[in-house]
Amino acid sequence: MSHDTQVAPAHAARQIAQYFGQIADSTEWNHACWQALFARLVATGKPPEALTLADIQNAIDQVHIAWGDACAAYPLTSPRARS
């Protein structure tokens, strides 16, 4: 029996860390920003358990674009939102 464990590629690990980092940063947002994020997540039409990290990242990016740094605990870092 092998005790080798598979390791996620470095890029995937960084990407997952970025997703969870931005989700964690959103906990510093004010009520209005949270409401905007919630509305964007509801607009996906998916139940909460079906949301993917990409869905959440997209909603966070949309709120950042719409509200700017007013909803940012830290400056926007998502490469998708900057492009």
Q: What tens digit of pLDDT does each residue of 24-75 get?
A: 888 888 888 889 999 999 999 999 999 998 999 999 999 989 988 788 665 4
- Mean pLDDT within 11-21: 81
Burial 38-49 (b: 16+ CB within 10 A, else e): eebbeeeeeeee
CA-angle at 8, arms to 57 and 76, nearest 5°: 25
* pLDDT score for 3: 59
Quick check: 78 pLDDT over 50?
no
pLDDT band at 11; cut points 50, 70, 90:
confident
pLDDT band at 7; cut points 50, 70, 90:
low
Do residues 75 and 69 lie in contact, with contact meaning Cβ atoms separated by under 8 Å? yes
Extract long-range pairs of 26-29: CB within 8 Å, 24+ residues apart: 26/60, 26/71, 26/73, 27/73, 28/73, 29/71, 29/72, 29/73
Q: What is the pTM of this model?
A: 0.68
